[in-house]
Amino acid sequence: MTSAQSESLQKALSAFRGLRMEDKLTAMALIFQHVAREVPADSIPQSSKVSELVNKVGQLSQELQTDALRDMLDAQRQDGDEVALDPNPSKALGELVTGKNENIPVGDYSSLGKEEKLAFWYQMGQKVSSSGANISPSADVNEVLKSLQSLNQDERISFISKALGR
């Protein structure tokens, strides 16, 4: 990798890491929508753990799906048993009191290996693509996406891995 290429990759990563969490989710959704259209599904490693997690996320309400994906994208946590509570304080308190939590345990995602995490986001990108969801990126997200266009395929893969914190 040349210095200019490495610099472009670092610039793209820096721009991505500077995004608000909602913009990071939007960027990842758009990146994996694109990947899902261009990479054949049979080239992605299959895992029952990944399929189960994708199904769990798919069964959540749209709001809870967003919360779960936000927690997963932000999952730099080491505690595999940790459960993400609702960000709304009154709902989180209710979850603590009743012991009921509809969110995905962060540990389900955290326990996945590197390739499984990539497969998870790939499958989520497929779901978003097939749902026909209309995602409107902010100007900051568009800048990140534009910066990815100058990267070669290996650098884009490196970007995705590093953006996922791996």
pLDDT digits (tens, 9 = 90+) for 109-129: 888 888 888 888 888 888 777
| Burial degree of 32 (CB within 10 A; 0-12, 13-18, 19+) | buried
Assessment of whether the complete model's pTM goes beyond 0.75: no
Residues 6+ apart with CB under 8 A from 55: none
DSSP 82: -
pLDDT digits (tens, 9 = 90+) for 16-59: 999 999 899 899 888 888 776 777 777 777 889 999 999 888 88
Q: Do 41 and 119 form a contact (C-beta atoms < 8 A)?
A: no
Q: CA 101 to CA 125: how far, in whole Å?
A: 25
Q: What angle do CA 58, 156, 143 make, to 5 degrees?
A: 85
Single out the residue of 163, 72, 59 nearest to residue 120, CA to CA. Answer: 72
